[in-house]
Amino acid sequence: MTTAWIEPDSTATALLLLGRASDADSERGVDCPGALPAPSDPDLVERARRARALLGDRAFILGHHYQRDEVIAFADVTGDSFKLAQQAAARPDAEFIVFCGVHFMAESADILTGDNQKVILPDLAAGCSMADMATFSQVEAAWDVLREAGVAQDTIPVTYMNSSAAIKSFTGARGGAVCTSSNAKRALEWAFEQKQKVLFLPDQHLGRNTAVREMGLTLDDCVLFNPHKPNGGLTVEQLRSAKMILWKGHCSVHGRFTLDSVNDVRSRVADVRVLVHPECRYEVVEAADLVGSTEFIIKTIDAAPAGSKWAIGTELNLVRRLALRHPDKEIVFLDKAVCFCSTMNRIDLPHLVWALESLVAGETVNQITVDPQTTANAKLALDRMLELP
């Protein structure tokens, strides 16, 4: 029996958790035309299985490591953002790429797939707060600041995958490349072969951690460009002497782990090894034992000996899955006060069922499309990344 879902009132404070109705103030809106199944519907798993089977090879489902278990169960492949971009590009025969991840990842998939393929994001409100910290107009204005300071011609932009297609396009048009947390060092090495300075967007932490910890730059070689301050809050002299111009953006999840989180877990768990993602703050990464992308974190835990103890600083869905998969190892979350990535969690089983059943019914919903001009330049930046040695 299906439990009836009570619609929340459409007030200013209603979260519209199931994506019903629309929120005029939301950048991408949360429209969900059609009947979204209730999360308590006991038939949801069966409905997802049935729709998945009916779509067969027409659909390919990608699942980012931070997705909920109920969604990961239906992913044809799981991965970090780099692996998922590669996988999307490697499926030219799939008519639908159903992207269980966030908006910038689905945009990248659309850029890397053919015009005959459709990329579907089961909930349009699955954005990324970090990506939203660098808008196209802000970055264009920043480039003007660099130009006026006489450093633009010596600067190459490198943008983290976690950025909008418009920022990737800006980067591609100026000779730059995309990077992910698995290849940031290689991308920066390549960038410094082209120019003397890098404008790193939008994650200051990945940029700083890679430059200082992996490439021998100093903290003084890095400056922080604040798009909310005149001239980024920097003097011409600071811009001229910097090697890394870091955009003032961060991840709302990883940015919440602190040095106290590390010290606290070390005092609670004897012999614990601290393993964190490079989106964490510099002082956290410095205090950790190991640092790496989500793929690196998974490989490290898979290869760790039984009985070893780990405190992991990344998204909770992944940490919980690792702990369940390795009952012979002691795995704890680096800081209990840090929450799930709220936007990743927007993709849930009701939205996945709704998207798959709509496709079965011949209705394409929540398609993510990037316009041809943006695609052309963004693809240059993505291809430069995919071609890195």
Given ligand 13P, ligand SF4, none, residue 129, with its beta carbon under 5 to 8 Å by kind, binds ligand SF4
Smallest gap from Cβ 253 to ligand SF4, in A, equals 4
Given ligand SF4, ligand 13P, none, residue 60, with its beta carbon under 5 to 8 Å by kind, binds none
DSSP assignment of 272-294, as one string? -EEEE-TTS-HHHHHHSSEE--H
Which residue, 161 or 222, has its beta carbon nearer to ligand SF4?
161
209 binds ligand 13P (CB under 6 A): no
Q: Footprint of ligand SF4 on residues 294-323 (CB under 6 A)?
A: 315
Q: Closest Cα to residue 386, out of 202, 183, 223?
A: 183
Closest-by-Cβ residue to ligand 13P is 80
131-160 mask for ligand 13P (x: CB under 6 A)? ------------------------------
Q: Footprint of ligand SF4 on residues 223-252 (CB under 6 A)?
A: 251-252
CA-CA-CA-CA torsion sign (117, 385, 73, 91): positive
Q: Looking at 54-62, 116-124, 126-134, 376-384, which segment touches ligand SF4 (CB under 6 A)?
A: 126-134
Q: Residues 6 or more apart from 5 whose CB is under 8 A from it? A: 18, 36, 38, 39, 40
189 to 98, 118, 185: CA distances (angstroms): 33, 34, 6
Spatial strand order in the sheet of 330-333: 290-291, 273-276, 309-313, 330-333
Q: How many CA atoms lie within 13 A of 349 on its CB side?
A: 17
Smallest gap from Cβ 340 to ligand SF4, in A, equals 9
44-73 mask for ligand SF4 (x: CB under 6 A)? ----------------------x-------
- Candidates 78, 164, 181, 375: give the one binding ligand 13P (CB under 6 A): 181
Q: Closest Cα to residue 209, out of 241, 179, 230, 240?
A: 179
Question: E-strand spans in the chain?
Answer: 59-64, 77-79, 96-100, 118-120, 155-160, 177-179, 197-201, 222-225, 244-247, 273-276, 290-291, 309-313, 330-333
Q: Two tokens at 65?
A: 């490591």
Given ligand 13P, ligand SF4, none, residue 107, with its beta carbon under 5 to 8 Å by kind, binds none
- Candidates 146, 188, 253, 312: give the one binding ligand SF4 (CB under 6 A): 253
Smallest gap from Cβ 314 to ligand 13P, in A, equals 7
First-to-last C-alpha distance (Å) of the chain: 55
Smallest gap from Cβ 68 to ligand 13P, in A, equals 14
- Candidates 138, 159, 293, 358: give the one binding ligand 13P (CB under 6 A): 293
Query: Could you say which DSSP state residue 213 is in?
Result: I
Which residue, 122 or 232, has its beta carbon nearer to ligand 13P?
122
Q: Closest Cα to residue 345, out of 84, 99, 76, 68?
A: 68
- Candidates 80, 107, 123, 357: give the one binding ligand 13P (CB under 6 A): 80
Q: Closest Cα to residue 134, out of 126, 121, 143?
A: 143
Smallest gap from Cβ 175 to ligand 13P, in A, equals 23
Give the C-alpha separation, 104 to 122, whole Å: 13
Q: How many CA atoms lie within 13 A of 133 on its CB side?
A: 20
Smallest gap from Cβ 271 to ligand 13P, in A, equals 26
Smallest gap from Cβ 189 to ligand 13P, in A, equals 18
What residue type is 178 in one-letter code? V
Binding region for ligand 13P (CB under 6 A): 80-82, 128, 162, 180-181, 251, 279, 293-294
